[in-house]
């Protein structure tokens, strides 16, 4: 079946103007449409134009690539080559410091670290002391 023509998707350009004023006017870098963005640094009038720009950059080899194993926020995901850490073998204090660092960075605490911490906490504080004197 031959392709007869390409019908581009409809643009959903959102108008962020307010009657009081205080809005931005920008020109799309892809289709050169004038639009009213919500942010002062917006480059594209809609999602489709952003996608077109990204695909063009990938085709030209100019797309910005992140290093494997890194997040946008600056955190690091262990790559597949790295050895997985057994958090149950780390001391309670080291786990507590690790969790504090994760909280400060604004990331979620991974389930394996949370489970290891609960286990260590239970061992340290919730277990009943056994006395050597039996009556």
Question: Which whole number is the average pLDDT over 98-119?
Answer: 80
pLDDT recorded at residue 131: 55
pLDDT recorded at residue 79: 57
Which run of H or E residues covers position 35? strand 34-35
Q: How far apart are the two ends of the chain, measured CA to CA in Å?
A: 91
pLDDT recorded at residue 37: 86
Angle between helices 111-121 and 92-105 (to 10 degrees): 140
Mean per-residue pLDDT over the chain, rounded: 76
Say whether pTM exceeds 0.85: no
pLDDT recorded at residue 126: 67
Q: Taking 70 as the threshold, does the pLDDT of residue 132 lie above it?
A: no
Question: Which whole number is the average pLDDT over 40-54?
Answer: 88
Q: Taking 60 as the threshold, does the pLDDT of residue 88 lie above it?
A: yes
pLDDT recorded at residue 71: 57
Share of the chain above pLDDT 90, in %: 1
Say how far apart CA 77 and CA 32 lie, in whole Å.
38
Say how far apart CA 98 and CA 109 lie, in whole Å.
9
For residue 55 the two structure tokens come to: 């695909």
């Amino acid at each position: 079946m031959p392709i007869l023509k390409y019908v581009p998707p409809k643009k959903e350009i959102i108008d962020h103007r307010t009657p009081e004023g205080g809005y931005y006017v920008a020109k799309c870098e892809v289709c050169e449409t004038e639009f009213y963005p919500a942010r002062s640094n917006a480059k594209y009038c809609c999602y489709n134009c952003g996608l077109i720009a990204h695909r063009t950059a990938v085709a030209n080899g100019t797309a910005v690539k992140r290093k494997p194993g890194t997040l946008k926020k600056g955190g690091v995901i262990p790559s597949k080559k790295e050895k997985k850490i057994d958090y149950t073998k780390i001391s309670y204090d080291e786990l507590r410091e690790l969790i504090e660092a994760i909280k400060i960075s604004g990331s979620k605490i991974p389930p394996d670290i949370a489970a290891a911490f609960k286990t260590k906490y239970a061992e340290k504080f919730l277990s009943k002391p056994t006395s050597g004197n039996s009556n």
